[in-house]
Amino acid sequence: MASRFTELVIDCANPARVAEFWAAVLDYRVLQQSEQGVEIGAPDGSVRPTLTFVPVPEAKTIKNRLHIDLNPTGQNQAAELERLLALGARQVDVGQGADVTWVVLADPEDNEFCLLRRQLD
């Protein structure tokens, strides 16, 4: 027997705002929303894990110890980078160097994530 990874919980000041950003990034939809948080997932409910955004009073202060990696689908890395920036992501430097093949970005509440080069179809 083993455990199954079913959701990733992300602390934030404004769960609705961050959930809206990530839903647009991943083409997800809101599955549940309450004062305790917002859960987003695939429109048909088949893809796991879901992302759950929960309110916390404190602000983010250091680099994430865990982050999300994304692969572009249906377009190359450069085109996906433009789309993510238009959605509200911003490029950040976490010491990755200029010779890496991925792009480090931050969501509206400064949670880092990476856009990888490999395109998935």
Q: Are residues 80 and 118 in the same domain?
A: yes
The better pLDDT of the pair 62, 70 is held by: 70
Per residue in 47-60, pLDDT tens?
A: 789 999 999 999 88
Beta carbons of 80 and 26 less than 8 angstroms apart: no
- 73 found inside a domain: yes
CATH number of residue 31's parent domain: 3.30.720.120
The residue among 79, 80, 107 whose CA lies nearest residue 91 is 107
Neighbour count for residue 2 (Cβ, 10 Å): 4
- Name the residue range of residue 36's domain: 8-55
The predicted model scores a pTM of 0.92
Q: Are residues 46 and 76 in the same domain?
A: no
Q: Which two tokens stand for residue 47?
A: 């893809």
- 62 found inside a domain: no
CATH number of residue 94's parent domain: 3.30.720
Per residue in 71-91, pLDDT tens?
A: 999 999 999 999 999 999 999
Q: Which two tokens stand for residue 1?
A: 């027997």
Using CA atoms of 107, 112, 113, 115 in order, give the dihedral in degrees to the nearest 10. 80
Per residue in 2-41, pLDDT tens?
A: 999 999 999 999 999 999 999 999 999 999 999 999 999 9
**Domain boundary, last residue among 34, 55, 76:** 55
The residue among 58, 80, 60, 59 whose CA lies nearest residue 71 is 80
Q: Are residues 12 and 41 in the same domain?
A: yes
Q: Are residues 25 and 51 in the same domain?
A: yes
Q: Are residues 72 and 49 in the same domain?
A: no
Number of folded domains in the chain? 2
* Those residues with Cβ within 8 angstroms of residue 36's Cβ, 6 or more apart along the chain or in another chain: 54, 55
Write phi, then psi, for 28 (nearest 5 degrees). -100, 175
